[in-house]
Amino acid sequence: IGDGAPTGNYGYTNSGYSVYEEENDRLTESLRSKVSAIKSLSIEIGTEVKNQNKMLSEMDNDFDSTGGLLGATMGRLRILSRGSQTKLLCYMMLFSLFVFFVIYWIIKLR
């Protein structure tokens, strides 16, 4: 033990390496905590993206079914409007003929 070398630190305290090592350890630990925080944040973002994609998929399915229902309703409405226009035209022609005969009859009675 009398050879002049300090025990335990292997001579690092005399050369200043111990300060750099402590600084490296502190920075490494700080970097490790930041990486851990970023990792947990990215996992939470991934989970949120999966939930949002699932919700968008469900909304897309709902809009598709609503669009199909609306298209079917519009088709029925077109068929109904075509039929009622024909009936309306027939009623108008019958009414016109009725008015024409009434006017003709009134003129003939004079």
Q: Residue 58: which domain range?
A: 14-83
For the whole model, what pTM was predicted? 0.47
**Per-residue pLDDT tens digits for 42-65:** 999 999 999 999 999 999 998 888
Residue 93 lies in a domain: no
The number of beta carbons lying within 10 Å of the beta carbon of residue 71 is 10
Residue 88 lies in a domain: no
Residue linked to tokens 């050879």? 3
Token pair recorded at residue 109: 């009675």
**Per-residue pLDDT tens digits for 10-41:** 555 555 678 889 999 999 999 999 999 999 99
Residue 52 lies in a domain: yes
Do 48 and 39 form a contact (C-beta atoms < 8 A)?
Answer: no
Token pair recorded at residue 105: 């009859």
Say if residue 89's pLDDT is above 90.
no
